[in-house]
Amino acid sequence: MDRLTAMQAYVRVVEAGTFTRAADSLDLPKATVTRLIQTLESHLRTKLLNRTTRRVTVTPDGAAYYERALRLLSDLEELEGSMSQARVTPRGRIRVDVPGVVGREMIIPHLPDFYAKYPDIQIELGVSDRTVDLISDNIDCVIRGGELTDQSLVARRIGEFHMVTCATPEYLRRHGTPAHPLELTQPPHRMVGYFSARSGKLVPDTFRRGDEAVDVVGNHVIAVNDATGYLNAGLAHLGVMQLTCFMAAPLMKSGQLVRVLEDWQADPIPVHVVYPPNRHLSSKLRVFVDWVVELLGQSATAGLKVRCAAA
Which tens digit of pLDDT belongs to each residue from 13-30? Answer: 888 888 888 888 888 899
CB hemisphere CA count around 270 (13 angstroms)? 11
- Higher local confidence (pLDDT), 80 or 48: 48
Mean pLDDT (the chain) is 85
Is residue 279 predicted with pLDDT exceeding 70? Answer: no
Reported pTM? 0.68
Is residue 81 predicted with pLDDT exceeding 70? Answer: no
Cα dist from 164 to 13, 104, 136, 180, 247, whole Å: 45, 20, 36, 15, 10
Is residue 308 predicted with pLDDT exceeding 70? Answer: no
pLDDT of residue 14: 87
pLDDT of residue 278: 64
pLDDT of residue 83: 58
pLDDT of residue 310: 34
pLDDT of residue 1: 55
Is residue 90 predicted with pLDDT exceeding 90? Answer: no
Is residue 311 predicted with pLDDT exceeding 50? Answer: no
Which long-range CB contacts under 8 A does 197-206 form with residues at least 24 apart? 197/129, 197/130, 197/131, 197/225, 197/226, 198/131, 205/165, 205/181, 205/242, 205/266, 206/266, 206/267
pLDDT of residue 243: 93
What's the order of all strands across the beta sheet hosting 258-259?
241-244, 163-167, 258-259
Query: What backbone phi and psi angles, to 5 degrees, belong to 31?
Result: -60, -35
Which tens digit of pLDDT belongs to each residue from 223-267? Answer: 998 888 999 999 999 999 999 888 898 999 999 999 999 999 988
Is residue 306 predicted with pLDDT exceeding 50? Answer: no
pLDDT of residue 213: 93
Q: Are 69 and 10 in contact (CB under 8 A)?
A: yes
